[in-house]
Amino acid sequence: MAKPRGTDGSLLQSLPWTMSALVIAILPHVPYLPFWITGAFLGCASWRYAVEMRRRPLPSTWTRAGLALVCFLGVWATYSSISGVGPGSALLAIMAALKLLETRRRRDQFVLLFLSIFLVMSSLLREQYIWSLPYLVGSVVVIMTAWLRMAAGEAQTTRRSFMNSGRLILYAVPIAIAMWVFFPRISTPFWAVPVDTSRATTGLSEHMSPGDISELSQSNEVAFRVTFDGPIPEPRDRYWRGLILTEFDGRSWSGSSAPIMSSRARDKIETRGDPVEYEITLEPTMQQWVIALDIPTRWSIPRTYMGRQQQLVHETPIDQRIAYELTSFSDYRIGNDLSAANRRWYSRLPEQRNPRTHQLARELRADAGTDRDFVDAVLRMLNQEEFYYTLEPPLLGSDPIDRFLFDTREGFCEHYASAFSVLMRNAGIPARIVLGYHGGEVNPLGGHLIVRQSDAHAWVEVWLDGLGWHRVDPTAAVAPERIDIGASDAALEGIGETWGFNAPSRLLHRVVMTWDAVNAKWNAWVLGYGPETQDSFMRWLGMENPNWRKMILTLVGLVVGLVMLVSVLLMLRYRPPPRDPAAILYQRFVKKSRIEPRTGETARVFALRVRETGAIPDDIVDNVTNAYLDARYGPDDEQAFKKLKRVVGTI
């Protein structure tokens, strides 16, 4: 074990840069890292810098080993695991900080810069946004600058290093683009990134118990974006089906435990009217549900099937953004008849819950002639009696439907869908709840539709003889405006009102829309560049039957070509200084001497060293050196050059 030596301040030049590179690499991790790791990182960095400033020795091996052990155990204690993105990046960050404490030489700084690059890359495992690209480029510029600062040392100004790093990255851009375009995309990756389980699932909940929610938080996050091939359907017709809830326990609704694949579900659909062709870019939901407009008949998303209730289900949870094309029909009929067993199943209700509702349903059904009349009667009741639409409903207690229908009469879509279904089931009409989205906002710049989490909606499908499963939206009976303009527009109007004037909200709106359009394009073209997009892009480029072999070959060819192009450009730009004939002759002497002149070593000093080696006789060394100096630096070039030629010949 070497005794700790004092630092000599020689790293003062490059250390701040190496540290900045590390800091920039860690920045995107900071929101996810426990506080103590960020603190420890900053502490180690300042410690190391202070050590260099004061020329003090680095901490001893034992101290460092102890710290490493403590930090390792700390990560273990925080995450109770050391694998996965979270603990992995925490370990990487803390070990990089500790590595600073033993950074003594250039080699250690190389390791640190490699670590920075790795940290930057690992931040992409967490999330990829549009600003990830500028961040990546910026951090690579800084890391490269740090690299050059370290390699070139004081021979280069900071500005020069910065420019050089920018130039190097510019040279690399065409190669990076070629790699991105041609590297074969595989639909099933060989590797799986362990995703943080702590990440909350956004999107539709698989349970629904309206009575337990007193305040619905409005999330403005984008759920998905839609591009229509034809005109965009009217707001009232934009029902995006997600999942179906069929079981009711008196208090909350849930779906059947696992979605059952049904080959007959697709066959039961009878379509009428014109199809709607569109493409959906769905944000990751960590759920298996695939959103579609009404009833889809065709979907271009692999490993996805139609469940028994005509919902689309993906085999695995959707953990990355996907884009898929669909064909849907808004005018449709599902099923001709329902078996008695199914009829019972869809009308099941728990015993002795919500008795008043039961009573009401029986009365209304008795008054109505047919099932259809009964549906209309209930809707009429919701519409004409004192029911209110609110996002902040009161809590409902143990018999929530009773309390809602008879006492509070305030709620949002879930309350109405739930109450409506219970009423239907009490009258023996099969009913199921559909969770999905309704409406969406048209982005005039991108021409696409944005559907946000705040557009989430619940409605009901009831079985009516002759009509099959028929969509009924009880919320529309209570708050028609909610259905006609959609939740997002309503929220935006609110902004204008609270601000008291309209102009800023319009401007804000435009900014929001522009940003969304840019994001949508980015998602579609960059992040969504998957196997299908690549395949069609290759075909567009003229590649027949694209496969990974062809793409790899093209890629290799392109990269080699680009590297050669850049090399040729660099060679053309580089003009070697014209070689002096005397210098060329002298070079022969240098070669014969078998030793290399040092930087800044004059011919005379070099001659002394050559004499020491004894490789060339002393008098020849002196003759050549003097003749060279005369020829190269003296006034009489012609004569001196001849002499140099002669004496070099004698070696």
Partner 1 sequence: MQRSTTLESVPTGRADQRAVVDEARKALGQIILGKDPQISLALACLLARGHLLIEDLPGLGKTMLAQALARVLGLSFSRIQFTSDLLPADIIGVSVFRQESGEFEFQPGPVFSQLILADEVNRATPKAQSALLEAMEEYQVSVDGSTRPLPTPFFVVATQNPGDQIGTFPLPESQLDRFLMRVEIGYPNEESERELIAGEDRRQMLKSIEPVAGPEMLIALQSSVAQVHVSDALVNYIQALARHTRESADVEIGLSPRGSQALVAAARAHAFVENHSGVYPDDVQAVFAAIAGHRLKPSGNTRFRSPAELCQHVLDSVAIP
Q: Which residues are catalytic?
A: 413, 457, 473
Minimum distance of partner 1 from residue 570's CB (angstroms): 21
Q: Binding to partner 1 by residue 576, rule CB under 8 A?
A: no
- Return d(Cα 155, Cα 6) in angstroms, integer: 25
Q: Binding to partner 1 by residue 629, rule CB under 8 A?
A: yes
Minimum distance of partner 1 from residue 5's CB (angstroms): 16
How far is residue 303 from each of residues 29, 325, 333, 430, 476, measured CA to CA in Å?
33, 14, 26, 30, 35
Q: Binding to partner 1 by residue 598, rule CB under 8 A?
A: yes
Q: Which of residues 196-235 bind partner 1 (CB under 8 A)?
A: none
Q: Look at residue 80 and give its three-state secondary structure.
A: coil
Secondary structure, 3-state, 125-144:
HHCCCCCHHHHHHHHHHHHH
Minimum distance of partner 1 from residue 642's CB (angstroms): 14
Q: Which of residues 59-118 bind partner 1 (CB under 8 A)?
A: none
- Return d(Cα 180, Cα 174) in angstroms, integer: 10
Q: Under the phi-then-psi rule, with left for phi > 0, alpha for psi from -120 to 50, and beta for the rest, what region is 352?
A: left
| Residue among 46, 61, 63, 158 that touches partner 1 (CB under 8 A) | 158
> Which element (helix H / strand E) includes 414?
helix 413-426
Q: Binding to partner 1 by residue 236, rule CB under 8 A?
A: no
Q: Binding to partner 1 by residue 612, rule CB under 8 A?
A: no
Q: Are 48 and 4 in contact (CB under 8 A)?
A: no
| Residue among 76, 129, 499, 633 that touches partner 1 (CB under 8 A) | 633
Structure tokens at 135: 């961040």
Q: Binding to partner 1 by residue 567, rule CB under 8 A?
A: no
| Residue among 201, 214, 359, 602 that touches partner 1 (CB under 8 A) | 602
Please say which residue, 90 or 582, places its beta carbon nearer to partner 1: 582
Q: Binding to partner 1 by residue 342, rule CB under 8 A?
A: no
Q: Look at residue 505 and give its three-state secondary structure.
A: helix
Please say which residue, 272 or 598, places its beta carbon nearer to partner 1: 598
Please say which residue, 245 or 640, places its beta carbon nearer to partner 1: 640
| Residue among 156, 205, 256, 383 that touches partner 1 (CB under 8 A) | 156
Minimum distance of partner 1 from residue 644's CB (angstroms): 12
Phi, psi of 396 (to 5 degrees): -115, -15
Minimum distance of partner 1 from residue 585's CB (angstroms): 14
- Return d(Cα 323, Cα 321) in angstroms, integer: 7
Walk across the sheet containing 448-452 and list its strands. 295-299, 322-329, 276-282, 222-228, 448-452, 441-443
| Residue among 64, 104, 160, 343 that touches partner 1 (CB under 8 A) | 160
Minimum distance of partner 1 from residue 643's CB (angstroms): 11
The identity of residue 471, as a single letter, is: R
| Residue among 157, 214, 502, 613 that touches partner 1 (CB under 8 A) | 157
Phi, psi of 470 (to 5 degrees): -120, 130
Q: Which of residues 2-21 bind partner 1 (CB under 8 A)?
A: 8-10, 12-13
Dihedral (C-alpha) 73, 74, 75, 80: value to the nearest 10 degrees?
70
Minimum distance of partner 1 from residue 109's CB (angstroms): 16
Angle at 120 between CA 114 and CA 122, to 5 degrees: 100
**How many residues contact partner 1, by CB under 8 A?**
31
Q: Binding to partner 1 by residue 497, rule CB under 8 A?
A: no
**Per-residue binding letters, 395-414, with partner 1 (x by CB under 8 A):** --------------------
Bridge partners (DSSP) listed for residue 462: 431, 470
| Residue among 154, 234, 386, 638 that touches partner 1 (CB under 8 A) | 154
Minimum distance of partner 1 from residue 600's CB (angstroms): 5
Q: Look at residue 450 and give its three-state secondary structure.
A: strand
Q: Binding to partner 1 by residue 587, rule CB under 8 A?
A: no
Residue 408 DSSP code: I
Q: Are 80 and 56 in contact (CB under 8 A)?
A: no
Q: Binding to partner 1 by residue 164, rule CB under 8 A?
A: no
Q: Are 251 and 398 in contact (CB under 8 A)?
A: yes
The identity of residue 503, as a single letter, is: A
| Residue among 407, 526, 636, 642 that touches partner 1 (CB under 8 A) | 636
Q: Given the rule CB under 8 A, which residues bind partner 1?
A: 8-10, 12-13, 153-158, 160, 577, 580, 583, 598-605, 629-630, 632-636, 640
